[in-house]
Structure 1
Amino acid sequence: MIVRIAQYPLKKRLLYGIASTAGVLLAQQVLASIAHGRLTFLLISASLPLITVLFGAWSGALLLTTGVAYGALWLQPIGSFAVDEQPDRIVLLAFTVVGGLLIAAGQQLAKVARRAGRAEAATRDAADRLLQVERDARHRFDVALDSAGVPFFIVTPVVRERHIAELRWDFLNEAAMQLFNPAAGVVIGSSTAYVRPTGWDTDLLLDRLAPLAERDGRDAFDVRVQGDDGEQWFHVVAASLEGSVVAWFGNITPRVRAEQALSEADRRKDEFLATLAHELRNPLAPIRQVAEILEQPGLTDQRTKWCITVLRRQSAAMALLLDDLLDVSRITRGALTLRKETVALREVLDDAVEIARPLLEAKAHEIVVELPPRPLHIQADRLRVAQVLGNLLTNAAKYTPPGGYIELTATADDAEIVLSVADNGIGIESDKLSAIFLMFSQVNPDHHREGGLGIGLALSKSLMELHGGRLTASSAGKDRGSCFSIHLPAQCRVVPAPVPTRDAPAIAASVGKRRILVVDDNVDAADALTALLELEGHEVRTVYSGEEAIGILTHFSPEVILLDLGLPGMSGIDVAQCIRATPATKDVTMIAITGWGQPQDRERTAKAGFDFHFTKPVDVAQLSQAIESAVAAT
């Protein structure tokens, strides 16, 4: 107790010293009153060690002196410092000697108290430092595990009847917590039987981890999880830890999927090589046979012509196979370059139909081509777009029973241009739609075999992506037809540049009579153009401002509008946008007539919805071709 008090601050020690001294003096005063002062002063010696320990030897000496004086006053004669009786003198001397010894003992005790206090303080500081070190180590451990990004957990077994009945979550880092459903609530302390990562199996955790809690060791295994994001795979590495189990587990789904993809690619490669051998043998067989026929004597001219036809047809088939292979190789190496040009969409569709026409006619298919109501020009590689459309038409012909129906349509809006090939053929099952654009993929390699290497759709998809577009497929199911669509961005749409001026402009006699509206604030220019168009047989109306143009559309429905851009008040761009925004006139063919002919001017007219852009003075032959194109598109 004294050692503990000695470590208190000075104020606290002073309070304890005053209190203890006051208590001793009070007790002494009581005894002195009862015993008439005889020897009661000796009671003061009881506080000497305490006072010495608390305040040092000088305080003990002061208290001892006070005690001697106090005793002298209460010994005979009372009230005087003189001590007459020999026994009293002996008692007083004994008190002094004993008091001195008590003061010396108090000094030693003070030293012991200080050493004990320093030892206790050092022990307490060491304990505090150890606790802080432990906290820092735990914090670093938590930070390291959380920042690793790899799920980590510790589980402790719950034993019932000498058997591990379940496991309890004792620790999880942040990466592991992300795998739990937020609705799971508190995870730490919960049983794995009730709270576990989404999609994980309870029995698997218990069966694989419980043995590690009973004996030292480690284990590694893969876990397949069917979660909200589909099938996922985790690789778990677990080890024993003093009756618990620690485990790391990493998401190996990308690796597993890559391995599956490699396996699938290897399988498709083998199928491709077998198909390639088959497809090359098909034309080689008749070529070899024709070569033998040509060696026969007495060959008629008719038979020779037939042999030549067969050789040309079969060599063309081989050339197509090789072209597809070379195109795929170029795209893979990034060596394929598009040759973009401004081309009428109608011409691209015509080229595609010509590519597929032999197969379409051979199987007696009905093909319907639907074009937009307005002429449409795109900036694209004409050969490649026609090649893709031709491939889609050929596939539709292959997988549609004889006498089927195939529709080729083209639509355009502000977002994109869509070219679609739809048929009423064998269709595509929903689980195969995602795989048909893979290299060497066959829609159905066992039925409806029509030849091909399985690279046509993959090649077509890559070609469209080079154009900044995409290729999509849809089907209602088996035997319910399919639809393949090319989606080109709206930026592909352009206003065509004028064709070279003819040496001798002539009025096209083949152009039928059309309703035309001429809008120009230059009266002479407008009237002259009107007269020229009327000579060609067209029905023409003429206005000289944008407001008049909008007004006349309420009672006159033109098929073609020739519009000047630099109109006073409402500009030609404003008029064009208003016309396109009106349902009744949104499909009318608009031709810009302007003095502005820079590329940025053509971009402005294309965005405003113009179909053609001509600079003044307008070439009559070019204008007639534009009107003829517009007529053909309606």
Structure 2
Amino acid sequence: MIVRIAQYPFKTRLLLGFASTAAILVAQQMLTMLAQGRLPFLLISAALPFVTVLFGTFSGALLLLTGIGFGALWMDPIGRLEVPRSNEQIVLLAYTVVGAVLVIAGQQLAKVARRAGTAEAATQDAAGRLLQVERDARHRFDVALNSAGVPFFIVTPVMRGGYITELRWDYLNEAAAQLFNEGSGVVVGSSTSYVRPPGWDADILLERLAPLVERQGRDAFDVRVQGANGDQWFHVVAASLDGSVVAWFGDVTARVRAEQALAEADRRKDEFLATLAHELRNPLAPIRQVAEILEQPGVTDGQRRWCTTLLRRQSAAMALLLDDLLDVSRITRGALSLRREAVALKEVIDDAVETARPMLDGKSHELVVKLPARPVHLEVDRLRLAQVIANLLTNAAKYTQPGGHIELTVTSVEAEIVLAVRDNGIGIEPDKLSAIFSMFSQVNPDHHRQGGLGIGLALSKSLIELHGGRLTASSAGKDKGSCFSIHLPANCRVVPPEVPARDALVIPSSIKTRRILVVDDNVDAADAMTALLALEGHEVRTVYSGEEAVEILGQYSPEVILLDLGLPGMSGLDVARHIRGTPSMKDVTLIAITGWGQPQDRARTADAGFDFHFTKPVDVGQLSQAIEGAVAAA
């Protein structure tokens, strides 16, 4: 307390001195009423050093002078400054001498107290600065470790019976804390046996980190963790630190998976080379044998024709293998470009079926093709799309037991066009579904005898992706068949191109009459078209506005609608959208009759759901072919 008061400012100590003097004088007055004047001198004398030490020399001197004045005033005779009696003079003199000595001693003590206070303040300041330095160092340590973004932790061993039985989390940076389900405040201080990142093995941590406590050194190892998203791998680098272990660890799942993928790709490459050698030797063997046959004397014309047919067939098989390899190379290099054209989907499917027909017939498979009621036209690379469909049909035939059932269905909805090839063959096991589209992958390695390089599905997938679509596969399991689906975006669908004009209109007598609705605000044009269609034998109704068209559809169910686009009020596009939004009329064939013929106009009619787009004046032959196509599709 003395040291602390000695550190107060001068003014504060002076005020406290006046206050203490006043308090002593009050006590002195009370004591004087009860005793002789010598006793109060003792009170003042005893207080002198404390007042001087606590509040300074000036305060002590003030109290000393007050005591002298008290002695002169309150001793007999009361009220006089003179002290006539010798014994009283001796007391007053003794008080003055002793009091002066005590004030001087108090002054020296005050200096000592101030020096002690200064030293204490310096010590406290140094301690505060040291504590701040420690806090700053810890803050920089935390910032550095947290900004690194790499998980870091410190663990301390827990000893029982002289052995390390478990480890305790002592520090975690933010990256490491995020791996835990709890907050880092809950983790720190907990045992690794009870609290650890999900999927981590406490025994592995203890086994690898505990030796670093007993000996100085470092260790690096990989930890495999079974997480919610599959297996993960972490690379841990640990080192000893004063009886604890510090460790960095990072997620190396991508690296490990890349290494596994490289190893798998290398394995598939070896399988591919072996399969390629096998596939090339297959046609080479009969070619070589035919060469030997042709060199033999006495070869008949029939044998020579057989040899020629065999050579063509086997060389064609080799050409297909080489074409697939070249296509894969072009796609890998980005050098394969599509030749898009507007084509009827039925024609593409016919091309694919014709290509796959030998394989289908060779194994006596039943093929069922289901197309939409209305014809579908796409802007695609006809050759490449047919190649993909043929490949799917060939695969289905290849991996289905003889006499199997294969179905090709086409569904056209607003979002996409889906072509699905289903079979009742050997199926695909669930764990192999994700790998069947990989290069050099076989659907079932046990069926290598079926032939193929394992690149057909990978090539097909790439070709469909070039069209902006996707190729998917599904199977209920082994021996339960499989389904491969081609998903093409809806923007591939277009109205068919105009067919070349014919010289004369020929009306086949076998054409069935159809119910047709003509909608055009030009009365003459509408009536003329109605008359022409009636001559062809069709049942025709005519209206002259979009509103009338929508109204008559509640009473009349046409199979074909010829619709002008530039109608007043409700336009032809609005009528088409209304028709396509009515489930009962989804199979109606819509034919646009308009004066607008730019590509963007055709795109608008395709989006509205029109099947055909003809510009005025309409070629009668083209119109009849469109109606014939609609009849065939119905």
Decide: shared fold, TM above 0.5: yes
* Partner of residue 150, structure 1: 150
Alpha-carbon contact 1:426-1:480 (below 8 Å) kept = yes
Q: Identify if the C-alpha distance between structure 1 residues 402 and 185 changes in structure 2 by more than 3 Å, giving closer, same or farther.
A: farther
* Partner of residue 123, structure 1: 123
TM-score by length of 1: 0.94
Corresponding position: 1:507 with 2:506: yes
Counterpart AA for 1:416: E
Counterpart AA for 1:123: T
* Partner of residue 334, structure 2: 334
Once the two structures are superposed, residues 283-319 of structure 1 have per-residue CA deviations (whole angstroms, 9 ceiling, x without a partner) of 1122222222222233222222122212211111111
Q: Identify if the C-alpha distance between structure 1 residues 448 and 178 changes in structure 2 by more than 3 Å, giving closer, same or farther.
A: same
TM-score by length of 2: 0.94
What's the secondary structure of 2:287's corresponding residue? helix
* Partner of residue 180, structure 1: 180
Once the two structures are superposed, residues 53-99 of structure 1 have per-residue CA deviations (whole angstroms, 9 ceiling, x without a partner) of 44443333333222222223345544322233455445444433333
What's the secondary structure of 1:447's corresponding residue? helix
Q: Identify if the C-alpha distance between structure 1 residues 17 and 626 changes in structure 2 by more than 3 Å, giving closer, same or farther.
A: same
Alpha-carbon contact 2:172-2:184 (below 8 Å) kept = no
Structure 1 gaps, min length 5: none
Corresponding position: 1:113 with 2:113: yes
* Partner of residue 412, structure 1: 412
Corresponding position: 1:73 with 2:97: no
Matches within 5 A, 1:451-462: 451-462=451-462
After superposing on structure 2, the runs of 4+ consecutive aligned residues of structure 1 that deviate more than 6 Å are none
Alpha-carbon contact 2:436-2:442 (below 8 Å) kept = yes
Moved more, 416-425 or 593-602: 593-602
Question: What's the offset of the Cα at 1:254?
Answer: 1.0
What's the secondary structure of 1:186's corresponding residue? helix
Corresponding position: 1:472 with 2:472: yes
Moved more, 401-410 or 89-98: 89-98
Once residues 605 and 227 of structure 2 are traced to their aligned partners in structure 1, the CA distance between those partners, rounded to angstroms, is 52
Question: What's the offset of the Cα at 1:239?
Answer: 2.4
What's the secondary structure of 2:191's corresponding residue? coil
Once residues 304 and 83 of structure 1 are traced to their aligned partners in structure 2, the CA distance between those partners, rounded to angstroms, is 166
What's the secondary structure of 1:449's corresponding residue? helix
Once residues 62 and 555 of structure 1 are traced to their aligned partners in structure 2, the CA distance between those partners, rounded to angstroms, is 125
Question: What's the offset of the Cα at 1:216?
Answer: 3.2
* Partner of residue 345, structure 1: 345
Moved more, 54-63 or 557-566: 54-63
Once residues 184 and 69 of structure 1 are traced to their aligned partners in structure 2, the CA distance between those partners, rounded to angstroms, is 74
Question: What's the offset of the Cα at 1:363?
Answer: 1.4
Q: Identify if the C-alpha distance between structure 1 residues 185 and 531 changes in structure 2 by more than 3 Å, giving closer, same or farther.
A: farther
Question: What's the offset of the Cα at 1:522?
Answer: 1.5
Alpha-carbon contact 1:2-1:50 (below 8 Å) kept = no
Matches within 5 A, 1:322-401: 322-401=322-401
Q: Identify if the C-alpha distance between structure 1 residues 69 and 393 changes in structure 2 by more than 3 Å, giving closer, same or farther.
A: same
Question: What's the offset of the Cα at 1:420?
Answer: 0.9
Once residues 57 and 167 of structure 1 are traced to their aligned partners in structure 2, the CA distance between those partners, rounded to angstroms, is 64
Question: What's the offset of the Cα at 1:465?
Answer: 0.8
Matches within 5 A, 1:162-177: 162-177=162-177
Alpha-carbon contact 1:440-1:455 (below 8 Å) kept = yes
Matches within 5 A, 1:147-546: 147-182=147-182, 186-447=186-447, 449-502=449-502, 504-509=503-508, 511-546=511-546
Q: Identify if the C-alpha distance between structure 1 residues 292 and 489 changes in structure 2 by more than 3 Å, giving closer, same or farther.
A: same
Question: What's the offset of the Cα at 1:218?
Answer: 2.6
Once residues 46 and 216 of structure 1 are traced to their aligned partners in structure 2, the CA distance between those partners, rounded to angstroms, is 67
RMSD: 2.4
Question: What's the offset of the Cα at 1:39?
Answer: 6.9
Alpha-carbon contact 2:18-2:59 (below 8 Å) kept = no
Moved more, 194-203 or 261-270: 194-203
Once residues 140 and 119 of structure 1 are traced to their aligned partners in structure 2, the CA distance between those partners, rounded to angstroms, is 31
* Partner of residue 95, structure 1: 95
Once the two structures are superposed, residues 239-272 of structure 1 have per-residue CA deviations (whole angstroms, 9 ceiling, x without a partner) of 2333332222211111111111111111001101
Counterpart AA for 1:463: L
Once the two structures are superposed, residues 181-234 of structure 1 have per-residue CA deviations (whole angstroms, 9 ceiling, x without a partner) of 359993222222222211112222222223333443332222111121111111
Alpha-carbon contact 1:368-1:407 (below 8 Å) kept = yes
Once residues 35 and 551 of structure 1 are traced to their aligned partners in structure 2, the CA distance between those partners, rounded to angstroms, is 130
Once the two structures are superposed, residues 42-63 of structure 1 have per-residue CA deviations (whole angstroms, 9 ceiling, x without a partner) of 5423333333344443333333
What's the secondary structure of 2:449's corresponding residue? coil
What's the secondary structure of 1:351's corresponding residue? helix
Moved more, 564-573 or 330-339: 564-573
Question: What's the offset of the Cα at 1:16?
Answer: 4.7
What's the secondary structure of 1:342's corresponding residue? strand
Once residues 620 and 416 of structure 1 are traced to their aligned partners in structure 2, the CA distance between those partners, rounded to angstroms, is 32
* Partner of residue 550, structure 1: 550
Q: Identify if the C-alpha distance between structure 1 residues 468 and 245 changes in structure 2 by more than 3 Å, giving closer, same or farther.
A: same
Counterpart AA for 1:105: A
Q: Identify if the C-alpha distance between structure 1 residues 184 and 443 changes in structure 2 by more than 3 Å, giving closer, same or farther.
A: farther
Identical-residue share of aligned pairs (%): 78
Q: Identify if the C-alpha distance between structure 1 residues 212 and 43 changes in structure 2 by more than 3 Å, giving closer, same or farther.
A: same
Q: Identify if the C-alpha distance between structure 1 residues 429 and 122 changes in structure 2 by more than 3 Å, giving closer, same or farther.
A: same
Alpha-carbon contact 1:507-1:536 (below 8 Å) kept = no
What's the secondary structure of 1:343's corresponding residue? strand
Once the two structures are superposed, residues 441-475 of structure 1 have per-residue CA deviations (whole angstroms, 9 ceiling, x without a partner) of 00112236211110000011011111110000111
What's the secondary structure of 1:239's corresponding residue? strand
Once residues 324 and 448 of structure 1 are traced to their aligned partners in structure 2, the CA distance between those partners, rounded to angstroms, is 18
Counterpart AA for 1:457: L
Q: Identify if the C-alpha distance between structure 1 residues 61 and 238 changes in structure 2 by more than 3 Å, giving closer, same or farther.
A: same
Once residues 389 and 508 of structure 1 are traced to their aligned partners in structure 2, the CA distance between those partners, rounded to angstroms, is 35
What's the secondary structure of 2:420's corresponding residue? strand
Structure 2 gaps, min length 5: none
Alpha-carbon contact 1:17-1:50 (below 8 Å) kept = no
Once the two structures are superposed, residues 591-614 of structure 1 have per-residue CA deviations (whole angstroms, 9 ceiling, x without a partner) of 001112222222221111100111
Alpha-carbon contact 2:469-2:487 (below 8 Å) kept = yes
Once residues 245 and 77 of structure 1 are traced to their aligned partners in structure 2, the CA distance between those partners, rounded to angstroms, is 89
What's the secondary structure of 1:418's corresponding residue? strand
Alpha-carbon contact 2:21-2:63 (below 8 Å) kept = no
Once residues 162 and 26 of structure 1 are traced to their aligned partners in structure 2, the CA distance between those partners, rounded to angstroms, is 72
Alpha-carbon contact 1:21-1:47 (below 8 Å) kept = no
* Partner of residue 136, structure 1: 136
Counterpart AA for 1:72: A
Once the two structures are superposed, residues 3-61 of structure 1 have per-residue CA deviations (whole angstroms, 9 ceiling, x without a partner) of 22222456864575355434544554466555522374354233333333444433333
What's the secondary structure of 1:566's corresponding residue? coil
Moved more, 278-287 or 386-395: 278-287
What's the secondary structure of 1:521's corresponding residue? coil
Alpha-carbon contact 2:52-2:110 (below 8 Å) kept = yes
What's the secondary structure of 2:478's corresponding residue? coil
Once residues 205 and 396 of structure 2 are traced to their aligned partners in structure 1, the CA distance between those partners, rounded to angstroms, is 52
Once residues 544 and 26 of structure 1 are traced to their aligned partners in structure 2, the CA distance between those partners, rounded to angstroms, is 123
Question: What's the offset of the Cα at 1:525?
Answer: 0.9
Counterpart AA for 1:61: A
Alpha-carbon contact 2:16-2:55 (below 8 Å) kept = no
* Partner of residue 576, structure 2: 576
Matches within 5 A, 1:571-610: 571-610=571-610
Q: Identify if the C-alpha distance between structure 1 residues 180 and 469 changes in structure 2 by more than 3 Å, giving closer, same or farther.
A: same
Once residues 360 and 599 of structure 1 are traced to their aligned partners in structure 2, the CA distance between those partners, rounded to angstroms, is 40
Once residues 53 and 611 of structure 2 are traced to their aligned partners in structure 1, the CA distance between those partners, rounded to angstroms, is 110
Once residues 126 and 603 of structure 2 are traced to their aligned partners in structure 1, the CA distance between those partners, rounded to angstroms, is 80
Matches within 5 A, 1:34-73: 36-38=36-38, 40-41=40-41, 43-73=43-73
What's the secondary structure of 2:367's corresponding residue? strand
